[in-house]
Every structure is written in C-alpha cells, then in structure tokens.
Amino acid sequence: MLQVGDNAPFFELESTDGGKISSNDLKGVKYVLYFYPKDNTSGCTKEAIEFTELIDEFGKKSVKVFGVSPDSIEKHHKFIEKHNLKVTLLSDPENKVSSAYFAYGDKTMYGKVYKGIIRSTFIINEDGVIEAAYYKVKAAGHAKKVLDCVL
C-alpha cells in the first residue's frame, strides 16, 4: 500500500473534461484522487455527491478533485448528468492505475473472494507526493474528512 511521503504513481487517463489527464499535467497542483467501484451505485453516488457539495471548498484551498473508476467515459457522463456532479471523472477500464495505487484487489462478499476496486482516496501535493492515503473508506462523510485534512 502507498503511504504518506511516497511518490504518487504516474497515471494518464481519459477525462470527462475531454482528452486525457496525466499526473505530469498536475505538477504544481494539489489534488485529490478517489477510487470508487461503479457509477450509479448507492455508495459511489453518495460519495460523488458529497465531493460535489464540497467542490467549492476544495477550490478555495486550490485543490482539484478527480474520481476514478473502471466505467467508460460515456457512463461517467451519464452519471454526471443524472446527479449534477461537479467532480471530474477519469476512466480506468483496465484497472492499471487503481492497481498502481493498490486500490484494486481482493474483496469479499458473502464469503466469496473476488477482484474489485477497494474504495481509496489520496491527497497528492504539488510535487506529486502523497500527503494522505485512505484505504477501505466508507462513502458517507468521507469527502468532508478529506477536505478537513487538506492543508
């Protein structure tokens, strides 16, 4: 797992803002990268709405917020439209970036083990260094906890 002080892994993903966003593009910018399993599921929707409700507060701290899931850009756009989301969503269909962040791995449901997204969030500073790493988070109230941790 990644820890505070580690360099954030490189990424380049398709964005709902159009084109691709890479970690190289974000040098000099503080940002939040949160990984979630699937658009339009209850926990993921709650988390996205809470980040949206706080997006202006993140902006006041000059922090960008990006949500990452394996869903396609088309599904992301529908998710944004349905819930009036203000966060930028990134598509990681092969789970390469989520794997690099240790946000993809074994999960258990009803006694069965399967591979999936482990809800995780990272605060990454202007130098590309991890300032905070949260694994196995609960969606409800998480966005506020992240906002409170942003310096």
Residues marked active site are found at: 44
Task: Give me the long-range contacts of 99-107 (CB less than 8 A, separation at least 24).
Answer: 100/9, 100/10, 100/11, 101/2, 101/8, 101/9, 101/33, 101/35, 102/1, 102/2, 102/135, 103/35, 103/68, 103/135, 104/35
